[in-house]
Structure formats: C-alpha cells, structure tokens
Structure 1
Amino acid sequence: MRRRLGFITAGGMVLAALTVAQPPAQAGATAAAGSATVAEARATIHGRPSTDADTAARLSTAYWTPERMRAARPAPMPDGVDAPDGEAVDRPGRIGAPRDVAAPAAPRSSAATLSAAPAGRGQGTQAVNASPGVGRVFFTHNNEDFFCSGGTINNPQANMVSTAGHCVHPGDGGSVWFDNWVYAPEFTEGVPLHGLWSAKEFTSVEGWVDWGYLWWDFAFVTMHPLSGDRLVHVTGGQGLSVNKSKSFSAMLLGYPGEPPFDGQSQYYSSSTTKAAGTQRVKLKDCPLNRGASGGPFLRAWDNDLRFGYVNSVMSYKFSGNMYGPYFDDDVLDIYTVAKNKQ
C-alpha cells in the first residue's frame, strides 16, 4: 500500500529565521573566478576513506543503529552569506535551453515500490504519495550526529543522490567533509524501508565549499552498491531539469525535524515557486523546517509514479519561505562531472 504524506499548514508553526551575514568586501568579485569550479571528496566512515562497498555497508549499519538514528538532530540551516549584489557578480547565471537531462525511472523490481507503511500524520488538502526516491540523510560532524534529506537521481550509474551543499560540507573553506554519510530512501516511522546506502563520493562546488554562498548550496553524492544492487534499480529515481522557468508548480518532499515534525517520515509542501535573488528560487509560506534541507524541489510531479524532476533543493528558510539554488547550466556542469562516477 502507498503511504500518504501528512501536511501541516504554516499557521501553527514557529518558523526558523535566517541569520544574514554581511559579505566580505567585494565578495562576488573575489570569488567569481573559482565559485563555479567543482569540489570533490571521497566519503569517509569513522574518518577513513570509504572504498569497499561491503565494508562500507557493514560499518554504516553497525554505526547507524535505530537508537542512534532516533537521536540524530536535524542539521542547522546555513547562516551563509546572503548578498544580492555579490550574488549577481559571483553567479550571474548560465541559462541555456530548458532541458530535462535525466528522466524519472521506476524501480526495476515492482516489489520495491510496495510497502506496508502507515499513513502519514497530519491533515492535508491533497493526497500525496510518499516517494521511494526521497530519503533521509544521516551524517556525523564534530562528533555529533545529524540528519538532512535527499533525492535519488536517475543517472547513468544508477547511484546518485541530490542534496544541499550544507548536508555534505560546512561551507567554511576547510578540507573536512561530513563523516559516516548514509542515505535511507523512503525512511518511514523510523525504519529505512529500502536499506541504508553508504556514500562513496561527494561532488559539490567551490562556491559552497570555500565560501558558503547560498546560491551554490547544492551537491550530488554517489553511493556504494548495497548487496550487489544499485540504488536507482532498487528505489527508482527522480529526473533532473535545468534552465526551466523559475516560476513552476513545485512539490517539496523531505524530513522536517522541528515541531510539529519529528523527522521520522516524509512530509510535503506544494505551491508555485518564484524567482529569488539572481540564481535562486523560493516557495512562499512553506511549513517544512530543519531536517528537510536537501530535499528536492520537484517539477512535473507524478503522484502515481511518485517521481518528478529535481529542479532545486531545499537550502534555507527566511520569513516563512523556503529557498533553493536555481538549477541552470552551472548545476548541469557539476552533475555532468558526477553522473558517471562508479
């Protein structure tokens, strides 16, 4: 049976405010030459490079016990630099022809799409099915356990997850990426329905990793196989769009973890996006909060297939609105680097 997602209106929520930092002097001009450059790192488990799929699965499962997953805290949304003038210089945008660069894909096994998960909590105006192509992300930073959200992408190697940059790296210019990174697709009532998948490699952009700029707050993560299977073959995957209109009907899916949510199941918010800044989009009056970071902005959502096209990812909240980086040819370049990684 398909699990229906809960929806809670913004009226009953305490909305998280964004702390807006002042940009460094000539921020855009300083970083423009390097911001669009790919930033990459091998994932680690307990601080050691994750190179073997079977070892990664064994160590990740041993670390991420049900108790530890319940105790993980929703990752803070970024306080990163939010400077419209600097953004226009640093990321003026490379908007080419609108393209669907990957199409949604159903799981190869029909059994993988079926679950006996309970109905989502809360009352909603829509009946929205949970997607097996959206999951909860777990990671460790400074000896603390956190969670974000992510979406499976149908890439050629069938092994990709999209998420926010701040869900893989603190954006402080340092060399330390987050540790013990796993993905639990269609995490439901505290149960990873389709297993825990271990990260193999992170692919982001220097504009986030070195500078913490919100307009670059995205990443792609390639995952190890699990028991010989590839992620997209088991769960299916979202498509990916670039250069589309900044105003589109969007379905946001993720795992908010602050009251009234607890991060244990998927929730949704749906409305029409608007342009924000130079290369960002926003969804007004979005109730989702910390923990939903990295979950997809989906266009052309198909509620029967339970997939759509990722067109941004959730980055931060400000004045009740959810913001994400606009997916244009800059993002396509990073995806192209990541899409064929084994």
Structure 2
Amino acid sequence: MRRKLGFVSVGIMLLTTLAVVQTPARAGAAAAGTPSASATVAEARATIHGRVSTDADSAASAGNAYWTPERMRAARPAPMPDGVDTFDGEAADRPGRVGAARDVATPTPPRSSATGVRAAVGGGSQGTQAVNASPGVGRVFFTHNDEDFFCSGGTINNPQANMVSTAGHCVHPGDGGSVWHDNWAYAPEYTEGEALHGLWFAKEFTSVEGWVDWGYLWWDFAFVTMHPRKGDRLVHVTGGQGLSVNKSKSLSAMLLGYPGEDPYDGLSQYYAQGTTKAAGVQRIKLKDCPLNHGASGGPFLRAWDNALRFGYVNSVMSYKYSGNMYGPYFDDDVLDIYNVAKNKQ
C-alpha cells in the first residue's frame, strides 16, 4: 500500500545489540522517477512464515517458535548495499525539504529500571571511552529468500510507544518487488547472544517508494510498528530515543549497532562516535567508522546522554564507502513518513 506525500576521530567499544540486507541494483543510476514519486509512502503488513501477522498472541507464538536462540545465533549479518560518495540523479530525485530544525520526539527512559546498566567492555582503535549500552537499541532479525539475517534498529518514543527505526534495506530488498522481509523480530539490548528484554514482532512497515521501488540510498530508512508483548508496549519496557529533523549535517554523533563481521561477532552492542559531515545532497557520513555489516539500521544519535542511555535519532546507518559510514539525511521528507507511522496501533 502506498500513499503520496508533498527521503574525526572514531572510538569503538563493546556494549550490550544487529545488521543489514542486499545490494540495490539502481542506487547509483540517474533517478527515473520524479521527486514526488520517490517521496510516496510505501507500507506493508508484516508477515511470519509468509502469513500476515494479525495479532500479538499469534505473532509471539509463531515468532518465538521460529527464532530459537540457536537460530538467532546462526543468522548472518545482512550485507550493506554498495555505495559511493556522489550519485548521479540524487539532486533531481531528492532535492530536499529542509524546514525548521526541531525535535519531533524526545527521549524517554524505561518505566522500570529492573535491569542493570551494562557498560562498554572493549577498547577503541583511537582512544577509549566508557559508553553505556542503550536499551533503546537492538538487533533486528528477519528472513529473506529463505535465509536468516540480522540488522540493527532503535526504538522511537512515538505516541503509541511501539516504533523501531531502521534502514530501508532491513525491511525490503529495494528491488521494486512486493515481497517484504519475513519473520521480522526485534531484540532490544541484545547482549552476549541473549534477548534481554525478549523478542518483539513487527506489525507494520512504513518506508518510501524511493527505497522500495528504486533502491536509492538517499531514501534508505524505515519505521516499523511493533506488536505488544505480554500486554506491554515496547517503549514502556525499553525506553525510546528521540527523533530530530532538519538539524545541521555536521554535528557530534553516537552510532550504536551490532556489527557482525570480523573483528565483531554481532552478539553485543558496539559504538562509534565522531562528527558527521554532509554527503551528496541529502545524506550524511561519519568518517573512518569501523562498524560493518550487521550494524546497518542502527541509529546516528545526536545529543547522546550517557547516563540516560538515549539520544535523538538523526539518521540510520545505510552503507560504507572508503571506510566512511553513510546514512540518509533526516529532513521534512523523513518527518512526513514518521507522521504516517507514528500513530499506528
């Protein structure tokens, strides 16, 4: 279903979280559609074993039966899309709608602090820092072409307390097809291979035609609304990140996710941080970022609060090129998509 709308130095530490999917064939080609066509909302109901996930109880029963601890550990990091620094057609397809800089959602902690705070236990390639794992970041699991993959994602403090932000390629292959990823599950604060806060199952995907139909990397983002779990809503259990739009493309950012290629194992949460830079027309990048496949979909967080363990999602990890991590710039195009998704039950 689609609806039209008007997409330094780096430290790295082991924390306590996931990965990415397949290469879009046309991300670097000249845009064939109009900007308004690419900005059209693309939506789909989530499925488990190819069947629409209609209610929380049946989703939990089927999803938990599928995602055993052994299957979660065996899932492989989804490959990041191929990319470059500058794309032909980007300015024509997504010239951008940059309005007033604002925070459209604010961070909130969990309603209960029953679980302890897990700190970083690894060392960085260029200096070290104590960074706490965020319960508002998790590992995403899904099935595509009968293979199990993992990505990363972050909770968003939306009105229904049920939203996860991630990369577009973590919900759809970006090939123009009608098949979205199957068996989509989220394990917040996945740590040492354990789902500390249980598994949560997707109810509906909200992305944009620029990604789903064309695989354009400047549109590589999505929001996923989740079923309740045992009567609880996701953000109430884990807390949620804020969401910012139209902010400077050059600012201090914390990146959190679950890289799964050597030297990482994808079993716990890692971070990278530094100052973002403008990339192309409507993308940003973090230079010399060591995170790799499996981290895609994890958030670029501005105004990170290490005591609260939350910040404001300002982009999501999409792909790497020449050692730099890229993500779509969050402007009013992204805000429109968020506004479609934010009140979904």
- What is the TM-score of this pair, normalised by structure 2? 0.90
In structure 2, the residue matched to 1:42 is: 45
- Write the distance in 2 (CA, Å) between the matches of 1:118 and 1:292: 18
- Aligned partner of 1:12 in structure 2 is none
Spell out, residue by residue over 1:75-130, the C-alpha distance to the aligned partner (whole angstroms, 9 max, x if none).
0111369763300000000000001000000111122x526x68533455110000
- 1:228 has 2:231 as partner: yes
The change in CA–CA distance for 1:6 and 1:84 in structure 2 (over 3 A counts) is: closer
Matched residue, 2:116: 114
* Residues 257-296 of structure 1 aligned to structure 2 (within 5 Å): 257-296=260-299
Question: Equivalent residues in 2 for 1:1-342 (5 A)?
Answer: 7=13, 23-24=28-29, 27-28=30-31, 30-79=33-82, 84-111=87-114, 113-114=115-116, 120-123=121-124, 125-342=128-345
State the one-letter code of the partner of 2:103.
Answer: D
C-alpha distance after superposition, 1:246-267 (max 9, x if no partner): 0010000000000000000000
Gap change, CA 1:66 and 1:179, over 3 Å in 2: same
How many residues matched?
A: 325
> Which residue identity lines up with residue 96 of structure 2 in the other structure?
G
SS in 2 for 1:61: helix
Secondary structure at the counterpart of residue 247 of structure 1: coil
Tell me the amino acid that sits aligned with residue 116 of structure 2.
Answer: L
What amino acid maps onto 2:156 in structure 1?
A: I
Task: Identify the residue that residue 13 of structure 1 maps to in structure 2.
Answer: none
Partner SS state of residue 108, structure 1: coil
Distance in 1 between residues matched to 2:222 and 2:80, nearest whole Å: 15
Instruction: Pick closer, same or farther for the CA change 1:159–1:337 going to 2, 3 Å.
Output: same
Where structure 1 has 5 or more consecutive residues not aligned to the other structure, the ranges are 9-17
- In structure 2, stretches of 5+ residues that fail to align are 1-10, 15-22
Q: Deviations over 1:277-296 (max 9, x none)?
A: 00000000000000000000
Q: Partners of 1:103 and 1:83 in 2: how far apart?
A: 33
Identity %: 82
SS of equivalent residue, structure 1 residue 88: helix
Distance, in Å, in 1 between the alignment partners of 2:27 and 2:244 is 32
- 8 Å contact kept, 1:22–1:82: no
Task: Report the Cα distance in structure 2 between the residues aligned to 1:37 and 1:301, rounded to whole angstroms.
Answer: 31
CA distance in 2, matches of 1:289, 1:19: 17
Q: Which amino acid aligns with 2:315?
A: S
For the aligned residues, what is the CA RMSD?
A: 1.9
CA-to-aligned-CA distance 1:208-231 (integer Å, 9 cap, x gap):
000000000000000000000000
Q: By percentage of residues, which structure has more helix? A: 1
Letter in 2 for 1:175: S
| 75-84 or 295-304: bigger deviation | 75-84
